[in-house]
Amino acid sequence: MTKLVTTSVIRGSNQGESHGGVYLLDLDAQTVVQTIDWDKADIDWQGRGWDRGLRGIAFDAETVYIAASDELFAYTPEFKLVGSWKNPYLRHCHEISVFERTLFLSSTGYDSILAFDLDSKEFKWGMHLKQENFQYKASTYDPLKDQGPLMLNKLHINNVVASQGGLYLSGLHSGGLLHFNGTNVNMAVELPAGTHNAQPFRDGVLFNDSQADALRYCGRGEGDEDRAMPVPKYPVSQLRYTEMDKSGVARQGFARGLCVLSDTLVAGGSSPSTITVYDLAQNTQVLSVALTMDVRNAIHGLEVWPYN
């Protein structure tokens, strides 16, 4: 089929332990190679995921961009670090997306989207999203100056998809997939609470329904199908750190990470870190590859690997 690249977050890990990584998956051979083991100690360890692990993935020519909670990293395809950038308004970053010469980052802590110029290598634009009287309003700010929003994390914006038609945004509390056309923010489609990775697909929307432990596609065209495909679950006897499930820190079946392979094939992530390929037309799982049985270890970013 193809190769995928994924990042992970180890929820509830302790200081001194690995709390995430980057993996390359060959779906034909069903093999996994870990390319980065993320064990940085200078992060905030409170909460479940908090500053742990690595997040969104995007590409620009021969550069691989990977986001951490508050920092953007650039690597070669061989995962040699070639640059990193921070910004005071980048906090609890989740997904990232490249369109033309701009990389967009979801700054969850600030209910914002930040724009990073791929040529000048600087943060050039910020957009803060808020809800007033059941309507969404966007206001822009300069992320290089001390004039941005407060860190409130009301909408938990965790996803951004950049396209010719504008920005598509979604979060745990956004109510659905939002569309920003450069001026206004409108609801493109309502979605369940707890959604991750929502994106336009064919004549509908593709997303992880994380609360229902399922990958879903909702079609809007005439005769288009709706799909709700459960993520893999494992016998408790096979899992490690199951006490974290009881404490609410981590659980199996948490659906996050999503990429499109074709008009009918999509790949989704779940915990413990597992990548599953789904055939939407046949409503079946094609294959599933588990990276670990550690229930704390959750897939975050997931993309098709564009290099040989």
pLDDT digits (tens, 9 = 90+) for 119-176: 999 999 999 999 988 899 999 999 999 789 999 999 999 999 999 999 999 999 999 9
Q: What is the number of structural domains in the chain?
A: 1
Residue 278 lies in a domain: yes
Residue 2 lies in a domain: no
The beta strand positions in 210-247, using DSSP E, are 214-219, 226-230
> Could you tell me which residues come within 8 angstroms of residue 209 by beta carbon, excluding any fewer than 6 positions away?
191, 192, 194, 195, 215, 216, 228, 255
Better-scored residue on pLDDT, 42 or 192:
192
**Structural domain span for residue 36:** 7-304
Residue 241 lies in a domain: yes
Residue 1 lies in a domain: no
Residue 275 lies in a domain: yes
pLDDT surpassing 90 at residue 244: no
For residue 45, what pLDDT is reported?
Answer: 39
Nearest to 92 by CA among 50, 128, 127, 57: 50
pTM, entire model: 0.93
Letter string b/e over residues 24-33, b meaning 16 or more CB atoms within 10 A of that residue's CB: bbebeeeebe
pLDDT, average across residues 190-208: 94
DSSP secondary structure string for all residues of 97-166? EEETTEEEEEEGGGTEEEEEETTTTEEEEEEEEEEETTEEEEEEE-TTSS-------SS-EEEEEEETTE
pLDDT surpassing 70 at residue 2: yes
Percent of the residues in the chain that have a pLDDT greater than 90, as a whole number: 77
| φ, ψ (nearest 5 deg) of residue 236 | -55, -30
Computed from CA positions of residues 222, 160, 248, 236, in that sequence, does the dihedral angle turn out positive or negative?
Answer: positive
For residue 38, what pLDDT is reported?
Answer: 81
For residue 303, what pLDDT is reported?
Answer: 98
Residue 176 lies in a domain: yes
CATH number for position 133: 2.120.10.30
